[in-house]
Structure 1
Amino acid sequence: MPQEELIFWLGILQEHLQTAKNRLAEGEKAWRQEAEQIQQRLQAVQDQLRGGYFVSKADILALARETCRWLQRLLYRMLRCQVQASLYPLLVDHWARETRFFCQLLRLSATGNPHARLGQLRESLFWLRIFAEHLQLLSQQLDPTEQLLQAEAALLLRRLERCRLTLSNWESLVGQDRDFPLTLGQALADSRETVLAVLKYKQKVARRARRCQLLAVFPADWPEHLLREGRYFLSLWP
């Protein structure tokens, strides 16, 4: 697993924790302190990698698993009204799924290219769901006056869901077979085109957020975070 990819994922995990920490209620000091400690350790590992120092995959995996456990505990408590936070439970689950996916990539990287071992079909299915949730979360936090952006998100969401259903059917048809029929190749290409359209939408939202041309309640840097995840997926399967 390339060093640049490890640095990317460590940054993504930090940003998830930062958002969670910022949206915890004032009285949830213990949760915020624990998130801060994990965040600092993620930053330290990221700095080591950027400085050219060796960090074992086992140490990174252990830290990613700790991050995932924190998110899962937070979700468990939120669903039982035992933690106060201005967070959608699905967003916390979304972060936990991404963290588990990173852990899976780390485990697979021990015996080769993790993306090749996982396969384009399975990886595309994972990211199509992630991108659909991005659109849902973005549109839900737009001001009601942003009707054009909300309508555009709804259209893209339907395209993503159709692609995901198509690939889910193909996963059932071919299983782990790597000798894909040409029709599946076309379905994967269609999914990529849809992701490109979603990426352009995210770019538009991010640009307007930077220029203060957008009415919304999400943090100004959040669209940039979503953009990086979209670019990451497209870089894996050019």
Structure 2
Amino acid sequence: MANPIVERSLDEIQFWSRIMKEHALFLSLGFTHEQKQLIAEAQQFITLFERIEEKLARLNVNSDIRQVQAFNSEVYQAAVSIWSFKRKVLGLTLRCEIQSNNFPLLVDHISREAAYFANRIKDLNEGKLAPERDTIIQENLFFLRIMADHAKFIGHLLDPSERKLVDQAREFGHDFDQLVFQAIDLDSMRPHSETVPILDQFLDQNRVSVASLRDFKKTARELIEACRIKSNIHPLLADHTFREAERFLEIIDLFDAHLSNQ
């Protein structure tokens, strides 16, 4: 029988390593031609996470736990390194030491994801698999903020002439901002908010909203790939944000199953 820590570790690494590699690509595409050093650093991270993906392909759910824990430690260091690079880029941007096509909020956004990835791997190596109830609220808060950011980025990267899609993206941004505030309120009500009925309602509401945004992203991705809308959105970025919405839905289901077993 597969070790659940091994199984979860490989799943997290498979998903997030690809995300980290794509972050490095998006940053490199956003730098200007004179920012050669930053472009080179971003390219190094693309290579780093490609190597991680190659090593991952040689492991499976029946791999030895110690081998996977050693791999986790290596991946953790990679996640921390790319987090540090992203925070450096953010600092350079906010101090106006560089001008690029990467929104400061986008750089902050992708650094939050790197920190999340590193913390997930660290928790798994410490044997923490099942979520605590307060973790459920915090993790939803993290992903709700990610979804709100995505909606804002989509709205800003669509051509202004795509008025209907821009309006839809702004509406999603507003809706997810409200869900973020709701999650913050719920978090401040702990431990009373950790009762199963309240958490169940919270997860159900999030699921409906995320599914709706996921469908919007899917439509946008298909339109971008077919060159049917005008935007500065790279087709891979459209797919990237779609996959993250799918991931959030999977996590909501995992939390639901965990609560049902309590």
TM over 0.5: yes
**Contact 1:166–1:187 (CA under 8 A) maintained in structure 2:** no
Structure 2 residue 152 is the aligned partner of structure 1 residue 136: yes
**Contact 2:155–2:169 (CA under 8 A) maintained in structure 1:** yes
Overall identity of the aligned pairs, in %: 23
Shift of 1:23: 1.4
Structure 2 residue 67 is the aligned partner of structure 1 residue 60: no
1:43-97 CA-to-partner distances (Å, cap 9, x unmatched) read 1011110132855211111111110111111111111122231111111111101
- Partner of 1:9 in structure 2? 16
**Contact 1:143–1:215 (CA under 8 A) maintained in structure 2:** yes
The alignment partner of 2:82 has SS state of helix
- Partner of 1:27 in structure 2? 34
- Partner of 2:113 in structure 1? 98
Q: Quick one: which amino acid aligns to residue 130 of structure 1?
A: I
Over 3 Å counting, the alpha-carbon distance change for 1:96 and 1:22 in structure 2 is same
Instruction: Give the TM-score, by structure 1 length.
Output: 0.93
Distance in 1 (alpha carbons) for counterparts of 2:152 and 2:36: 30
- Partner of 2:162 in structure 1? 146
1:197-232 CA-to-partner distances (Å, cap 9, x unmatched) read 110110110010111111101212211000111111
Distance in 2 (alpha carbons) for counterparts of 1:116 and 1:20: 32
Q: Quick one: which amino acid aligns to residue 152 of structure 2?
A: Q
- Partner of 2:4 in structure 1? none
Aligned length: 237
Shift of 1:115: 6.0
- Partner of 1:37 in structure 2? 44
Distance in 1 (alpha carbons) for counterparts of 2:184 and 2:194: 17
Q: Quick one: which amino acid aligns to residue 23 of structure 1?
A: G
What do you get for the CA RMSD once the two structures are aligned?
1.8
**Contact 2:203–2:252 (CA under 8 A) maintained in structure 1:** no
Distance in 1 (alpha carbons) for counterparts of 2:156 and 2:181: 23
**Contact 1:139–1:150 (CA under 8 A) maintained in structure 2:** yes
**Contact 2:82–2:114 (CA under 8 A) maintained in structure 1:** yes
The runs of 5 or more residues in structure 2 that have no matched partner are: 1-7, 61-66, 254-262
The alignment partner of 1:221 has SS state of helix
**Contact 1:115–1:123 (CA under 8 A) maintained in structure 2:** no
The alignment partner of 2:131 has SS state of helix
Shift of 1:187: 2.3
Structure 2 residue 183 is the aligned partner of structure 1 residue 173: no
The runs of 5 or more residues in structure 1 that have no matched partner are: none
The alignment partner of 1:2 has SS state of helix
Moved over 4 A (4+): none
Distance in 1 (alpha carbons) for counterparts of 2:219 and 2:80: 34
Over 3 Å counting, the alpha-carbon distance change for 1:39 and 1:229 in structure 2 is same
Instruction: Give the TM-score, by structure 2 length.
Output: 0.85
Question: Of residues 201, 212, 217 in structure 2, which corresponds to 1:197?
Answer: 212
Superposition map of 1:119-134 within 5 A: 119-134=135-150
The alignment partner of 1:116 has SS state of coil
**Contact 2:79–2:114 (CA under 8 A) maintained in structure 1:** yes
